[in-house]
Each structure stands twice: as structure tokens, then as C-alpha cells.
Structure 1
Amino acid sequence: MNDAIHSSKAPEPVGLYPHARRVGNLLFLSGVGPRQRGSRDIPGVTLNAQGEIVDYDIATQCRSVFDNVRNILEECGSSWERLVDVTVFLTNMKADFKTYNAIYADYFRDNQPARTTVEVLSLPTPIAIELKCIATID
């Protein structure tokens, strides 16, 4: 089975891709950021008139992106506890890793999937964090 899944709860994709794709009993999520569905506002981000980041709160963005991942998983028939691999992209490792890591520990206290965290120069929208996840599904 190879099914593309479009979530009704997750932020609209910024390109031509599904929120997730099911292959067998695995669910591969596309990159998920902190944006909110149906809104141009980004939780924890203040933009200037040109759409450039003026200020951001990494804690707010972390919670929002984790909630978005949870919504996609649940809508797809999986769950937070079924995450097996998480890749995290941060745009400022030096400034944000400590806060992100503490919030991550709260969210992943019981389920501890494999994890990779990398710093990237930028992401497709003015955000500071994005997750790429793999989960199991029945």
C-alpha cells in the first residue's frame, strides 16, 4: 500500500506534497512546521512588513510543531507513541538547542524515538524549526 494523506488539521503545504505517505505499516510525514492551518500567522514569530523575522520564540514554535505532528499522526490512524524516528531542523542551533531540547524531553518522556537534530541556514517559510517524522501504523 502506498497512500498519500492530506490532513484537514495540519497547516497547508507550501508546495506540491502530502502531509504524509503510508507505505505498508510505516507512515512518513513530510516536513512539519509550527504554522497553523488556515492562517498566515506563525505562532511565536513576529514578522516585519517585508515578511522577514524580527523576533521569535522557539518555545512557542516547538510546542506548535509538536502539536501539528500529533494532529497529523492521529488523523492518519497513528499516534505520538508510535513515532520511531524524528529529524529536527533548527535554524539557530547555538541560540535554540537548549530550549528545544528541554521541551522535546517533556513531549518525548515516554516514547523516545531515534532522533537527529541538524542546523540549517533557513527553512521554506519564516520559521525556526521543522520536523520530519516516521511512525508505525496498523
Structure 2
Amino acid sequence: MTKQIVFSEEANPPLPVYSQAVISGKTIYVSGSIGITRDMQLVEGGVQAQTRAALDNMTKVLKGAGVGLESVLKANVYLTNLQRDFAPMNEVYLEYFKANPPARTCIGVAALPLGAEVEIECIAELP
């Protein structure tokens, strides 16, 4: 097995314990993104603002691997308040995945890093 680490200068820098993404074969595994700024401050404005920031960051990581959101095969979304935030998160999510959305799982979790309300990760494919 060979794996290639993806690093995008444009995306939020990863902590030293993980990579922004890893490529194995033609598959890209993108680490979870939460709604933070480049200096690790939580984005204000609730779940919609955090969803937008997380998806913007994920887009930058994918760009660093040479692809875009159209290459996403599967997304996993984690919400700290599934009942309250599912619909508002979906409104923003649909802005990014208008046509041919990927397979997706959305899970309610007890907590996320830095007090985030949403985290999104994905698996994508190289052309």
C-alpha cells in the first residue's frame, strides 16, 4: 500500500496528530472539518455559519488533492444537536452539493472539538 499525504496551504492547518487528507490508490480520505478560522477560533453564527466554514475548508483540502466537491463519494456529518440543527445544516449543505449529492450519513454526537456544533468529513475519488 502506498499513501500520499495531502496538504493545502489554503486550508486550515491540521494539528500534528492527523493529516488534512490521505490518498490511497484513487481514493481521497479527507479528515473532519469543523467551523473554525485559520487561527483555530470557532466561527460565530451557529450551525449554518460553521457548516459553511467546514465545507469551505473541505473544498480547499480537496483542491489541494486536485479535485473538487463533485468528486465526493461519501460524506459523514456529525452534529451536537441533531434535532435542532439537522434542517439548518442541510440548507447550507445543499448550497455545496446542488446536483448529484454524495452518499451521506448524519450522526448526533455528545461533543465536538472546540465546542463546534458540526463536523464534516468525506471520501472522494481521483479522476
TM-score by length of 2: 0.91
Give the letter for the 1:18 counterpart: S
In the alignment, the residues of structure 1 paired with residue 51 and residue 113 of structure 2 have an alpha-carbon distance, to the nearest angstrom, of 17
* Counterpart residue number, 1:82: 71
The 8 Å contact of residues 83 and 111 in structure 1, kept in 2 or not, is answered as no
In the alignment, the residues of structure 2 paired with residue 126 and residue 9 of structure 1 have an alpha-carbon distance, to the nearest angstrom, of 23
Cα distance, 1:92 vs structure 2: 0.6
Higher helix share: 2
In the alignment, the residues of structure 1 paired with residue 43 and residue 29 of structure 2 have an alpha-carbon distance, to the nearest angstrom, of 24
Whose Rg is larger?
Answer: 1
Q: Which runs of 5+ in 1 are unaligned?
A: 45-55
Q: Which runs of 5+ in 2 are unaligned?
A: none
Secondary structure of the residue that 2:87 maps to in structure 1?
helix
Number of residue pairs matched?
126
Identity of aligned residues (%): 30
In the alignment, the residues of structure 1 paired with residue 40 and residue 75 of structure 2 have an alpha-carbon distance, to the nearest angstrom, of 26
Which one of 81, 90, 93 corresponds to residue 101 of structure 1?
90
Cα distance, 1:82 vs structure 2: 0.4
RMSD: 1.4
TM-score by length of 1: 0.85
Cα distance, 1:8 vs structure 2: 1.3
